[in-house]
């Protein structure tokens, strides 16, 4: 199998070299070159439309990262952008006081999200997960937190501990998704002091295979939270408005006390929310302080309302599930065909192609070769993060992607035969 030609990313690299003298590390967070495959992936994008992206060197990609999750419809979605434009130019969006869109969006959430009774709005997922823990601690007058999953970059939960005193996270304990026994043991020790159990209802750990809940797992966590009078928080930043309109809690039928939402809710505009049971949420009114100059900005509210309108009107999630199930079904067939240790996990809207770990570490090279061939062929996946399907992925886009996956697996098969 012939190797795909390497991309021209000269302009991207030049911008990155310049950036290293302007920004620590050139770019921050999960957008660093080392979070992909250095020297193979672009570092700077120029534009996007629908499900396609163009980098600064003019390379075009069918995108499956979707901005790390917010793009549920597509890039430059006309109706959403127009609604925000009209708000900004016709009424303005940053004022001393709040605009009415707060109330409209809060009412909508109570209709869609099973746990939603009261809501507070913020800007980022990290804002919202951190606010949910503060609310839980204020409501319960307890301190400790049990966590499962990635919950952002703030002091209590970030994996990299540089610059953070240990006292800021010494009361936070991690348990594995689908490991009810592990949570039981932690709660046997800390349950009386536990304010919150925060988790993703669908397992999407960093750099690892995705997991659907085992029978009884979510119900078991719910029972444990009730037994110890801890607040159960679902971090639905990725799963909300993607697995279903009501998120993982609607899909799996287990309702938390608080829910954190963001990403797909506004198709790329910055807004997040903590929503949940009234008696718990009321702690935010009287017992703690959550505020930001930008939290009430109405551009995000307007974008969210228009995005939700489109999601409902056009049966977007039904469309994503239908084409996604066909798509990942055919990927599974290709994985079985080539038998190179590739693994497919996840569900139709969110899936991940990994490689089975082995003692020699050969899986790392297989993974590297597979994703290098994909990016060179014009398909933007991450080796270290799961993929998404958006509304604007057409059947033709998915067919082209399947052809590329076939060729990339064949390449790996031939190289490692």
Q: Are 258 and 280 in contact (CB under 8 A)?
A: yes
Q: What is the dihedral of CA 32, 34, 40, 43, to 10 degrees?
A: 10
- Residue where a domain stops, chosen among 254, 288, 313: 313
Alpha helices in 228-361 (DSSP H): 247-252, 278-281, 283-286, 298-313, 316-338
Beta bridge partners of 259: 234, 275
pLDDT tens, residue order, the chain (417 aa)? 789 999 999 999 999 999 999 999 999 999 999 999 999 999 999 999 999 999 999 999 999 999 999 999 999 999 999 999 999 999 999 999 999 999 999 999 999 999 999 999 999 999 999 999 999 999 999 999 999 999 999 999 999 999 999 999 999 999 999 999 999 999 999 999 999 999 999 999 988 999 999 999 999 999 999 999 999 999 999 999 999 999 999 999 999 999 999 999 999 999 999 999 999 999 999 899 999 999 999 999 999 999 999 999 999 999 999 999 999 999 999 999 999 999 999 999 999 999 999 888 899 999 999 999 999 999 999 999 999 999 999 999 999 999 999 999 999 999 997
Beta bridge partners of 379: 62
DSSP helix/strand/coil, 195: strand
CATH classification of the domain holding 32:
3.90.1150.10
Q: Are 42 and 362 in contact (CB under 8 A)?
A: no
Same domain for 263 and 115, yes or no, is: yes
Q: Can you read off the two tokens belonging to residue 81?
A: 């952008």
Q: Tell the burial category of 206 from Cβ atoms under 10 Å away from its Cβ (0-12, 13-18, 19+).
A: exposed
Q: Are 257 and 231 in contact (CB under 8 A)?
A: yes
Domain count within the chain:
2
Residue 5 lies in a domain: no
Widest distance between CA atoms in the chain: 65
Q: Are 16 and 26 in contact (CB under 8 A)?
A: yes
In this predicted structure, what is the pLDDT of residue 359? 86
Q: How far is CA 98 from CA 127, 144, 161, 378, in A?
A: 19, 34, 36, 44
In this predicted structure, what is the pLDDT of residue 2? 86
The length of the chain, given as a count of residues: 417
Residue 409 lies in a domain: yes
Q: What's this model's pTM, rounded to 2 decimal places? A: 0.96
In this predicted structure, what is the pLDDT of residue 207? 86
Q: Which helix (H) or strand (E) holds 407?
A: helix 395-415
Query: Range of 362's domain?
Result: 10-75+316-415
Q: Report the distance separating Cα 75 and Cα 89, nearest Å.
A: 21
Same domain for 252 and 371, yes or no, is: no
Angle, alpha carbons 208-144-258 (nearest 5°): 70
- Residue where a domain stops, chosen among 264, 288, 313: 313
Same domain for 337 and 368, yes or no, is: yes
Q: Report the distance separating Cα 165 and Cα 61, nearest Å.
A: 42
Same domain for 167 and 308, yes or no, is: yes
Q: What is the dihedral of CA 27, 28, 30, 31, to 10 degrees?
A: -10
Same domain for 241 and 335, yes or no, is: no
Same domain for 331 and 309, yes or no, is: no
Cβ-based neighbour number of residue 339 at 10 Å? 9
In this predicted structure, what is the pLDDT of residue 146? 98
Cβ-based neighbour number of residue 364 at 10 Å? 13
Residue 141 lies in a domain: yes
Q: Report the distance separating Cα 325 and Cα 349, nearest Å.
A: 8
Q: Report the distance separating Cα 159 and Cα 53, nearest Å.
A: 30
Q: Are 217 and 178 in contact (CB under 8 A)?
A: yes
Q: Report the distance separating Cα 153 and Cα 390, nearest Å.
A: 26
Q: Are 258 and 234 in contact (CB under 8 A)?
A: yes
In this predicted structure, what is the pLDDT of residue 289? 95
Q: Tell the burial category of 335 from Cβ atoms under 10 Å away from its Cβ (0-12, 13-18, 19+).
A: middle
Same domain for 156 and 109, yes or no, is: yes
In this predicted structure, what is the pLDDT of residue 417? 79
């Amino acid at each position: 199998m012939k190797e795909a030609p390497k991309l021209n990313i000269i302009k991207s690299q030049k911008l990155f070299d310049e950036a290293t003298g302007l920004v620590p590390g050139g770019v921050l967070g999960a957008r660093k070159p080392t979070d992909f495959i250095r020297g193979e992936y672009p570092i700077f994008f120029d534009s996007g439309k629908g499900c396609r992206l163009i980098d600064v060197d003019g390379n075009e990609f069918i995108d499956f990262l979707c901005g790390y999750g917010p793009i549920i419809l597509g890039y430059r979605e006309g109706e959403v952008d127009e609604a925000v434009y009209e708000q900004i130019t016709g009424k303005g969006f940053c004022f001393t006081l709040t605009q009415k869109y707060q109330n409209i969006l809060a009412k909508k959430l109570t209709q869609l999200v099973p746990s939603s009774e009261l809501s507070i709005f913020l800007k980022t997922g990290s804002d919202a997960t951190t606010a949910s823990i503060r609310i839980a601690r204020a409501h319960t007058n307890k301190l400790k937190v049990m966590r499962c999953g990635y919950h952002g970059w703030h002091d209590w939960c970030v994996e990299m501990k540089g610059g953070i005193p240990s006292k800021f996270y010494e009361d936070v304990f991690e348990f594995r998704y689908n490991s009810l026994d592990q949570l039981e043991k932690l709660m046997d020790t800390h349950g009386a002091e536990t304010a919150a159990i925060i988790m993703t209802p669908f397992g999407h750990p960093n750099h690892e295979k995705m997991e659907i809940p085992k029978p009884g797992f979510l119900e078991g966590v719910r029972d444990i939270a009730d037994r110890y009078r801890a607040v159960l928080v679902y971090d639905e930043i990725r799963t909300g408005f993607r697995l279903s309109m009501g998120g993982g809690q609607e899909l799996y039928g287990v309702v938390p006390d608080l829910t954190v939402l963001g990403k797909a809710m506004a198709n790329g505009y910055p807004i997040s929310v903590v929503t949940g049971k009234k008696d718990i949420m009321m702690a935010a009114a009287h017992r703690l302080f959550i505020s930001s100059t930008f939290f009430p900005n109405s551009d995000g509210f307007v974008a969210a309302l228009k995005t939700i309108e489109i999601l409902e009107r056009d049966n977007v999630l039904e469309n994503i599930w239908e084409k996604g199930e066909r798509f990942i079904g055919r990927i599974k067939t290709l994985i079985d065909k080539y038998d190179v240790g590739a693994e497919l996990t996840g569900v139709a809207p969110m899936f991940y192609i990994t490689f089975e770990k082995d003692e020699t570490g050969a899986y790392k090279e297989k993974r590297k070769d597979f994703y290098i061939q994909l990016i060179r062929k014009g398909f933007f996946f991450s080796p270290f993060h799961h993929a998404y399907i958006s509304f604007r992925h057409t059947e033709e886009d998915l067919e082209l992607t399947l052809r590329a996956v076939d060729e990339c697996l064949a390449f790996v098969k031939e190289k490692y035969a």
